[in-house]
């Protein structure tokens, strides 16, 4: 039986899990939120590799035979290592959707929101060099968004997004996104799986001035493709 295991530093990757469940509701899934060790954004790569190996082993013990690294930061630091250490297991990773953003931008200015770890990774920098050479890419570290989403959804019960908490979320989003809009960005890439959880608020702040690019559905389709190829 096919069972797809997803892991992230916390609740972020549930946006990928939800997109996959919408696409393939009959496939069994497991989700591992490594909240005890998250966030990963500013950890050294070798620590992220160690944690990613532990997460993979835990999901394999739960019977998973495909692993989705539902975290841009962990993909950046660890996917090559994971593929080498577990050669029989198909891995699907995630990197910021800079390519479609750069190709579709009309202003030639693209904003990317992600963690420092993702921006330092090989995948992001190769994609940037290959597909965004003629485009101004504004890279913004938004660790505050990770903390807000964990505070909102990471506890035993989800906190209502209302009142003073909602105001704080809106203020934090505005402070990060408004400068990108002012600089002419017409695409905002959500390069961390915690950020699609804030998409309605990011879109509200953008107010039609920029398209917000959420890769969750594209990653879900990629998982389905890998399943069809490996478990026909
Ligand atoms: N959700 C993770 C990502 O996609 C990172 C958040 C963190 O742990 O800093 O990059």
Query: Count of CB atoms within 10 A of residue 76's CB?
Result: 29
Question: Mean pLDDT throughout 34-59?
Answer: 98
Question: Mean pLDDT throughout 95-113?
Answer: 98
Q: Give first-to-last CA distance, the chain, whole Å.
A: 12
146 lines ligand 1 (CB under 6 A): yes
Check if the beta carbon of residue 118 is closer than 8 Å to that of residue 196: no
Instruction: List b or e across 151-188, with b for residues whose CB sees 16 or more CB atoms inside 10 angstroms.
Output: ebbbeeeeeebeeeeeeebbebbeebbeebbeebbbbb
CA of 193 from ligand 1 middle (Å) equals 6
Check if the beta carbon of residue 92 is closer than 8 Å to that of residue 70: no
**pLDDT tens for each residue of 139-178:** 999 999 999 999 999 999 999 999 999 999 999 999 999 9
> Is 232's pLDDT higher than 90?
no
| Structure confidence at residue 87 (pLDDT) | 98
Rounded Cα distance between 42 and 96, Å, is 17
Q: Which atom of ligand 1 is nearest to the CA of 8?
A: 1
User: Both tokens of residue 47?
Assistant: 């620590």
User: Both tokens of residue 26?
Assistant: 């009959």
Question: Mean pLDDT throughout 122-136?
Answer: 96
Cβ neighbours for 37, distance < 8 A, ≥ 6 positions apart: 9, 51
Q: Work out the pLDDT band at 33, boundaries 50, 70, 90.
A: very high
> Which of 19, 33, 39 gets mutated to test ligand 1 (max ligand atoms within 8 A of its CB)?
39
Burial label for 232, CB within 10 Å (0-12, 13-18, 19+), is exposed
Q: β-strands 109-114, 136-141: how paired?
A: parallel
Query: Count of CB atoms within 10 A of residue 212's CB?
Result: 20
CA dist 2 → 28, 73, 79, 150, 223 (Å): 7, 26, 21, 30, 12
73 lines ligand 1 (CB under 6 A): yes
Strand spans (E) along the chain: 3-8, 28-33, 66-69, 91-92, 109-114, 136-141, 187-190, 211-213
CA of 61 from ligand 1 middle (Å) equals 24
Question: Mean pLDDT throughout 83-93?
Answer: 98
Measured N-to-C along each axis, helices 216-230 and 14-23 cross at an angle, to the nearest 10 degrees, of: 60
Cβ neighbours for 120, distance < 8 A, ≥ 6 positions apart: 45, 76
Question: Mean pLDDT throughout 130-146?
Answer: 97
Check if the beta carbon of residue 194 is closer than 8 Å to that of residue 11: yes
């Amino acid at each position: 039986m096919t069972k797809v295991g997803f892991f992230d530093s916390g609740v972020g990757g549930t946006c990928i899990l939800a997109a996959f469940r919408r696409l393939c509701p009959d496939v069994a899934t497991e989700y591992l939120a490594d909240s005890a060790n998250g966030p990963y954004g500013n950890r050294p790569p070798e620590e992220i590799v160690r944690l990613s190996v532990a997460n993979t082993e835990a999901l394999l013990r739960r019977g998973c035979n495909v692993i989705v690294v539902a975290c841009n930061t962990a993909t950046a630091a660890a996917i090559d290592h994971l593929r080498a250490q577990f050669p029989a297991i198909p891995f699907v990773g995630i990197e910021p959707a800079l390519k479609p953003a750069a190709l579709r931008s009309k202003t030639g200015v693209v904003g990317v929101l992600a963690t420092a770890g993702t921006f330092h990774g090989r995948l992001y920098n190769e994609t940037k060099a290959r597909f965004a050479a003629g485009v101004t890419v504004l890279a913004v570290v938004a660790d505050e968004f990770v903390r807000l989403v964990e505070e909102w959804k990471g506890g035993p019960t989800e906190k209502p997004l209302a009142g003073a908490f909602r105001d704080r979320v809106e203020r934090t989003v505005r402070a990060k996104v408004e400068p990108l809009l002012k600089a002419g960005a017409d695409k905002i890439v959500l390069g961390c799986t915690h950020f699609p959880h804030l998409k309605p608020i990011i879109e509200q702040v953008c107010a039609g001035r920029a398209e917000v690019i959420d890769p969750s559905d594209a990653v879900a389709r990629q998982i389905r493709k890998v399943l069809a190829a490996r478990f026909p």
